[in-house]
A and B are shown apart, each in its own frame.
Chain A
Amino acid sequence: MAFRNSEGLKMKANPRDVRTGTYYMDGDIAAGYGALAAGCRFIGGYPITPSTEAAESFARIAPQSGAVFVQMEDELASVASIMGASWSGVKTMTITSGPGYSLMMEAIGLGAMMEAPFVILNIQRGGPSTGVPTKTGQADMMQSRWGSHGDYEVIAISPDSPQELFDFMIKAFNLAEKYRCPVMVMSDECVGHMSEKVVVPPAEEIELEPRRIYTGPKEEYLPFKPDQDLVPKMVKAGDGYNLYVSGASHDERGYPIIYQKGKNQSDSTARRLVDKIRLNADKIIELHEEKLDDAEVVVVSYGITSRVAVRGIELARKKGIKVGKLRLVTVWPFPDQRISELAAKVKAFVVPEINYGQVVYDVERCSHGEANVVLVPHGGAGVHDPEDILEAIEYAATEKKKIRKVIIRKTRLEKKVFGGGLK
């Protein structure tokens, strides 16, 4: 009974949805199990390597819980259908990878404007365009934040193991219901196709965020009137509330502001969509920090790279370098404040990414020139070697000058394949 509680009361997962047990499974399949455990009742999807297994695993276990998986004709239809399902009262998500993610951008803007809660699982792959479909990449990070046109904010979380793919699906649905914004789970092919131990806990231990339902009198309902935390209460279609939900900029009744005669037509909708996340950022942002107390160099990473970084940090500590780890569990909204604080204390940040520089520019922005920022790029189709991160940490620890731009330390593979250049 996902939607009968009013706000503030957490609820437990339905035991029918949760396949309790200990498994050895792929990340993708764990994501399918996690989605059902979170209460997802509709997935409109389209097959794309490397994310198809998530859709397949959901299709196998969904009918026994009354959930539906429909393979739509393309990604455009998939994402449009989950908006509709969201407004008809169910938790929904879709599953895709790079090329499909680009197709979904228009509808993500629509979902942000309509404040429909939904989750998109993006198992990133080599890009751009068709790229390398069967190998890993992390090059969609900026697109998840800025992909659609206009002003809006999203939440993006990045898991680093199949167990986390299961847990983060639940976390993503909870965030989506709480903030009514698009939530992107930015995984990658390495984690998606990795097989590891996944423990699915019993249903009583899984806490779900219920949808915030309006329970007052019908005539007084204003679909877009926000609560204290700037998130409005929701209802579902077909209950006699006479909804008007539009992708156009609207007022509290949902009516497009072009219909307001004589009023000042400044767009206040986008302001609230943006503030909703920015002002609640401290409650949303989650970071994993290790060994930061005496650190002189901080390795900022996310996703699979953070696991490689752990080894790199270990090797560096053995050599006596004081290095700490900052893992971005939530990549968006970006932890501006924490990075700024650290920038005042440490010498440098090392940012390994499986792309040619995306999140590193936000790190540089927030460091305000007080610490060096070193990027370790990787072209994709594989992950970093811990030695590459070690080399970058060593450089960062010994560099005395303040260099006012992102310093690129190439991996040994890059140097071997491309030689010099790329500075």
Chain B
Amino acid sequence: MNPIITAFANGIKKSGIELSKVVVVSDIPFDPEIIKELGIDFFHTTRGRAIAFGTGLKLGNPELKVVAFIGDLMTIGGNHLVHSGRRNMEMLVICVNNFVYKEIAGTPSPSVTTGFSAFSTFEKPFNAPHLANSCGAVFTARWTALHTNDLTNSIAYALPKPGFSVIEVLSPGPNFYQDINKIESELLNFYFQNSITKNKEDTRNVEITADEKIITGEFTDKKKTTFIDSYNAQLGKILGDKFIPLGGQNE
């Protein structure tokens, strides 16, 4: 996790966004000391609901910049992902993918055989950038945890970008492994070595399979009207003067 947090902190700094306006919502319990050093507000919610929680935060105070660090994006959080993408709710979702929760794990790779359960899943995993893209995300990307510079740049770009952005970060989870230090850094390195950056690749082709290299990069970058803009425009058109737009009022 730590390289991801460093990249996140650098990304915020690089983007120039005011630190006090950044709010992180997550179902991963961050260490409070880290949050204190980062200097932002943090909300730890129930599993998978970070995106819905973030929707409320954003619509209650449209000046906030909401970042959802979510591990369980695609299982419990699947419905929220799909609908927030459709609405184009303005937030940045950083999905920390550690292959452990079964939706994402594919067949175990040949070089890391110790520690994986014999009943590794046979289900086809979700291709997170493709799912996010088909649900309407304006920016999708995937990096591994060691791609710190690229990750920083992606976060710095996506944070001020209006709309729903999803960045998937591949990072090992320490749960199932016997020798944590050795395997965790070995796995981190494995992901890094076996990845190949292909920016602007069509998201249909970026599945993670056992035999091929992991494709990283920034895949989608488009413009779409956000929820708040669409809301203000539509209601302003119908109601005219009587309407008080979101984001302007101070109540």
Contacts and interface: CB of A to CB of B under 8 A. Distances in A.
Interface of A: 1-2, 14, 39, 41-42, 44, 63-66, 68, 70, 72-74, 76-78, 80-90, 92, 106-107, 110, 114, 236-248, 253-256, 259
A113 to B, nearest CB: 10
B46 A63 contact: no
A66 B246 contact: yes
Interface string B183-215: 000000000000000000000000000000000
10 contacts: A42-B56, A66-B251, A73-B83, A77-B79, A82-B56, A83-B53, A87-B57, A90-B251, A245-B41, A254-B32
B246 A68 contact: yes
Contact of B49 (A63, A65, A89, A107): A107
A81 B55 contact: yes
A243 B60 CA distance: 17
A242 B32 CA distance: 10
Contacts of B249: 66
B242 A245 contact: no
Contacts of B25: 84
A65 B243 CA distance: 7
Contact of B59 (A42, A74, A253, A254): A42
B64 interface: yes
Given A66-B251, A84-B53, A237 B43 contact: yes
Interface string B227-249: 00001000100010011111001
B163 interface: no
A63 B52 contact: no
Residue in B39, B64, B239 with the greatest tally of chain A CB atoms within 10 Å:
B64
Contacts of B245: 66
Given A236-B61, A259-B32, 14 more contacts: A44-B56, A70-B55, A80-B53, A80-B56, A85-B57, A88-B23, A88-B61, A238-B23, A238-B63, A239-B20, A242-B35, A242-B40, A246-B42, A255-B32
Contacts of B179: none
B234 to A, nearest CB: 10
Contacts of B52: 44, 72, 76-78, 80-81, 84
A81 B45 CA distance: 11
Given A74-B79, A247-B45, A256-B29, A84 B244 contact: no
Contacts of A106: 46
B142 interface: no
A65 B43 contact: no
Contact of B44 (A80, A240, A246): A246
A83 B60 contact: no
B55 A238 contact: no
Contacts of A244: 32, 35-36, 41-42, 44
B83 A77 contact: yes
B104 to A, nearest CB: 22
A81 B29 contact: no
Given A90-B251, A237-B57, A238-B20, A64 B242 contact: yes
Contact of A248 (B21, B44, B242, B244): B44
Given A63-B243, A84-B55, A256-B32, A238 B44 contact: no
B42 A66 contact: no
B39 A242 contact: yes
A110 B23 contact: no
A84 B42 contact: no
B50 to A, nearest CB: 8
Given A237-B64, A245-B42, A72 B83 contact: yes
